[in-house]
Amino acid sequence: MIIEIKDDFDLQKIADSGQCFRFNKCADGYSAVAEDKYLFIKELGEGKYELSCSEDEYENFWKQYFDMDTSYRDIRALIDESEDEYLYRASEFGQGIRILRQDPWEMLISFIISQRKNIPAIKASIEKICALAGHKIAVDAEGNDVYSFPTPEELSKLTVAQLSGCSLGYRDKYVHQATLDVVSGAVDLESWKEIDDDALMQKLLALYGVGVKVANCEILFGYHRLDAFPKDVWINKVLDAQYPQGFLFGKYKPYNGVMQQYLFFYSRSNGL
DNA sequence: AGGCAGGTTCTTA
DNA sequence: TAAGAACCTGCC
């Protein structure tokens, strides 16, 4: 099917923004894998895109995934060029980034894995886990088999040794424990959608292998709470270099997480 | 060859 | 409560 998008939307920027690990350039378009769904999407020009899914699947899944009901143009308009020149430049540069609505379970495991790893290494580990514990759902535009992200039950069938075999290193035991917690019902990620930000943070920090950075990534990308502001080494460099008087968190509330994405993407692309 | 990568836990004071 | 060390693995 073909859709037309008026708001900010840039496939390459979304793929490179660091919020998703299964969204990659593929043939003459991009492949996106989320949970047990695969999408091939190709830009046609003039805001038009060709999608490999049915209209029904778009309406019921991908439309939400791409957060089509939120205007990122309006969020960018909160930035005042004269007041915050660096963020303004970053937002112009990053125009097209959106915060995807991804699954809390998939994001939790992905960001536990992410610690002290670079993005290619994170992606490689996740693909190994999917191939080992998920199931085949499609063949992508380059002819490669595509595997679903394993459900908690599927992932719980892997031993710590098998997880370790996915290049998780010392994170193997974190992933294993999180999986057991979810499968046992001790952790109910779905019900956490109802609790407030502070309570959610406390719940996440109680998980083995989850600290402040990973928890904030889960809150922003897994629960789509756009005010969460993960601080990694890149963001800390930006805050130190560009915001000695402090970032204007009060001004951008409740969209600080979107601003974080612009800062992250800009700093990574420019070494600033 | 040694250091570091989108951190967190464990140990020590 | 707060620093500092240890941690898997892969890639410069």
Q: Distance, angstroms, CA A169 to C1' B3?
A: 18
State the total domains in chain A.
Answer: 2
Tell me which residue of A9, A24, A124, A13 sits closest to A73, measured CA to CA.
A9
Q: Calculate the average pLDDT of chain A.
A: 96
Residue % of chain A over a pLDDT of 90: 95
A70, A97, A125 - which closes a domain? A70
Q: Is the pLDDT of residue A268 over 90?
A: no
A226 part of a folded domain: no
Q: Which residue is nearest to nucleotide C7 (CA to C1')?
A: A170
Question: Which of the nucleotides lies closest to A220 (Cα–C1')?
Answer: B6
Residue A11, domain CATH: 3.30.310.260
Q: Which of A41-50, A204-213, A260-269 has the lowest mean pLDDT?
A: A260-269
**Distance (Å) of CA A197 to CA A44, A114, A137, A165, A178:** 39, 22, 34, 35, 20
A39 forms beta bridges with A32
A13-37 pLDDT tens trace: 999 999 999 999 999 999 999 999 9
Strands A37-45 and A48-51 turn out to be antiparallel
Q: Distance, angstroms, CA A137 to C1' C6?
A: 40
A55, A70, A85 - which closes a domain? A70
Question: Which of the nucleotides lies closest to A232 (Cα–C1')?
Answer: B6
CB-side exposure of A63: number of CA atoms within 13 Å? 13
Q: What b/e string do you get for A138-156 counting C-beta neighbours within 10 Å, with b at 16 or more? A: bebbeeeebbbbbbbebbb
A171 part of a folded domain: no
Tokens of A165: 């075999």
CB A166 within 8 A of CB A125: yes
Q: Is the pLDDT of residue A271 over 90?
A: no
Query: How high is the pLDDT of residue A121?
Result: 94
Q: Which residues contact A116 (CB under 8 A, 6 or more apart)?
A: none
A22 part of a folded domain: yes
Q: Is the pLDDT of residue A270 over 80?
A: no
Query: How high is the pLDDT of residue A234?
Result: 87
Q: Distance, angstroms, CA A209 to C1' B12?
A: 21
Structural domain boundaries, residue A246: 233-270
Count of all residues that appear for chain A in the document: 272
Contact between the CB of A161 and strand C at under 7 Å: no
Q: Is the pLDDT of residue A43 over 90?
A: yes
Residue written as token pair 């974080």? A260
CA A149, A153, A157: angle at the middle one, nearest 5? 95
Q: What is the mean pLDDT of residues A73-99?
A: 97
Q: What is the mean pLDDT of residues A101-121?
A: 96
Tell me which residue of A6, A17, A14 sits closest to A31, measured CA to CA.
A14
Q: Which residue is nearest to nucleotide B7 (CA to C1')?
A: A115
Query: How high is the pLDDT of residue A272?
Result: 65
A257 part of a folded domain: yes
Query: How high is the pLDDT of residue A52?
Result: 98
Q: What is the mean pLDDT of residues A102-115?
A: 97
Q: Is the pLDDT of residue A62 over 70?
A: yes
A92 part of a folded domain: no
Read off the pTM.
0.97
Contact between the CB of A120 and strand C at under 7 Å: yes
Tokens of A245: 């008087």
The DSSP element (H or E) to which A162 belongs, if any, is: helix A160-163
A107 part of a folded domain: no
Q: What is the mean pLDDT of residues A60-88?
A: 98
Alpha-carbon Rg of chain A, whole angstroms? 18
A240 part of a folded domain: yes
A8 part of a folded domain: yes
Listed as ranges, the nucleotides of chain B within 7 A of a protein C-beta are 5-9
Tell me which residue of A138, A114, A151, A150 sits closest to A31, measured CA to CA.
A138
A146-178 pLDDT tens trace: 999 999 999 999 999 999 999 999 999 999 999
A31, A49, A70 - which closes a domain? A70
Listed as ranges, the nucleotides of chain C within 7 A of a protein C-beta are 7-11
Which pLDDT band, with edges at 50, 70 and 90, does A269 fall under? confident
Q: Is the pLDDT of residue A253 over 90?
A: yes
